[in-house]
Structure 1
Amino acid sequence: MKENVIYRPPKHRGVYLDPRTKVLFMFVLATLIFFVNKNLLMNSVLVLIPIVLLLSNHRYRPAFIYGGLFIIAILAKLLHGKLEFPYLLAMFLGLITELIFRFFPVFMFGYYIIKSTKPNEFISAMNLCHVPEAFIIPVSVVFRFIPTLGEESRSIGNAMRMREVRFGTPKFWKNPILILEYRVIPLMMSIAKIGEELSAAALSRGLGGLKKRSCLVELSFGIYDIGMAVITVLLIIWIIVGRM
């Protein structure tokens, strides 16, 4: 007869950050990004941090796409004033450059958090921080909602390809509205269904209950969290000194 084996959570390999470190650094990044508008080097460092973290999490495609946009933004910054562009093109390049330097770092870091953090890890981290469940439950549902929505979107795309409803096909030129109809309507129905199912699954697992939930996840600050803390302090000091 086999003896009962105590479950032990698997140890994390590679670069692993505590969910509390990720959330705190995202707020720090969102704050610092608006104080470096005139310093290209500081701005570049803040933009490179999400790229490095995405690469460490093996998210190569979004990292390379974001890195390519980042290189284009740097070239646009360096060539600004040296080359004369038409008014509309210059305005478009300026808008894209500001979006990449101002908003994309926070968006990409949020993407990294969603892809690298499991819902149970996030819930345990927020409980340790004494965050109200009114905030924990919706955000934990979002952690499962976005990947599930991506799977539904890919399934809809496969079905459209099987029916030859895509850009450039005879059906598209005959009725271009079909792409919008076949893509948006099933996706909206899936969004409503997925939201209801995930909310029911979260409540069935004890979220929102009156008693305190137990959790098998063991969270602790490690060497990488200390490294992020050191990087944060250095960035703050660098920005303060640079603005003097």
Structure 2
Amino acid sequence: MMGENRKKGFWLDPRAKLFLILMCVLASMVAPSLGYQFILVLLIALLGVLFGKWKYAVNAVCFYAVICVLTVWIMTEMTGTLRTMFVAFLGLFHKVYACGMLAGIVLSTTKVSEFLSAMNRIHAPKKLVIPLAVMLRYIPTIQEDWRFIKDAMRMRDVSPTPAGFLKNPGMTIECIYVPLMMAASKAADELSIASITRGIENPSPRTCLVQIKCGAADWIGMSVAVAFFALELCLQGGVIG
């Protein structure tokens, strides 16, 4: 049967991906040191490589490594109010970076049909599923519009960079936010209409060409996430102490 086909290459059940995001949030919250945050980022990068997102994974790890070096330098070399401000900002950055990195991988590797079928398996409420499904299609659409906006800005000799913003803030804001807001509003309407047309509100059980089932890769990934979280709890004295 077509419903029993599996995708070629590495594939995870959408439910397993949501569980990994949950464990990533918890692991980031209780990370005992910067080193464990970096290990968490490396694990997420490994997941990205398995999905074929090796360029995304390498860039994310390199950027985070630079931030880690900057954090260590600030904590050892700076003093006073300026140090407190940077440490507070970077502390929040370290907590959300791994979660954002994993969310980017999940969004780019999950199809709406697979997500809806997985949510139907766990009997998730429609009020939760429909906004998430629209979001999965909304973000790639806005990213495509953003590339068009950047091309149009370059034709007008306006740089879509922080340096360009400092040089000509008024023109940069006009060229970015006005078309981006208009495109976002239009995309939201179009996606809502398309979702309704495709029967997103249909109460009948959904079907999918890809078999939605947790396999060995799903259980291994979830086990590694739980083990890493448990290790952090032990080191923090959350379990032993």
Shorter-normalised TM range:
0.7 to 0.9
Q: Which has the higher contact order (CA 8 A, sep 6+)?
A: 2
The structure 1 residue matched to 2:104, chosen from 103, 107, 111, is: 111
| Residue equivalent to 2:59 | 65
TM-score by length of structure 1 reads 0.83
- The percent identity for this pair of structures is 28
CA gap 1:53/1:100 in 2 versus in 1, 3 angstroms: farther
Which range moved further: 155-164 or 185-194?
Answer: 155-164
The structure 1 residue matched to 2:43, chosen from 49, 52, 72, is: 49
Q: Is the 8 A contact 2:30 2:233 kept in 1?
A: no
Report which of the two structures shows the higher radius of gyration computed on alpha carbons.
1
Matched, 1:29 2:24: yes
CA gap 1:150/1:233 in 2 versus in 1, 3 angstroms: closer
Q: Is the 8 A contact 1:119 1:144 kept in 2?
A: yes
The Cα shift of 1:187 comes to: 0.9
| Superimposed CA distance per residue, residues 1-39 of structure 1 (whole angstroms, 9 cap, x where no aligned partner) | xxxxx7567642333211100101111111122112x33
Matched, 1:133 2:126: yes
Give the counterpart letter for 2:78 in structure 1: F
Matched, 1:203 2:204: no
The Cα shift of 1:176 comes to: 4.7
Give the counterpart letter for 2:178 in structure 1: I
Task: Give the structure with the larger helix fraction.
Answer: 2
The Cα shift of 1:97 comes to: 3.4
Q: Is the 8 A contact 2:119 2:129 kept in 1?
A: yes
Which runs of 5 or more structure 1 residues have no equivalent in the other structure?
1-5
Which runs of 5 or more structure 2 residues have no equivalent in the other structure?
none
CA distance in 2, matches of 1:128, 1:217: 13
CA gap 1:159/1:12 in 2 versus in 1, 3 angstroms: same
RMSD of aligned alpha carbons: 2.8
CA distance in 1, matches of 2:185, 2:149: 15
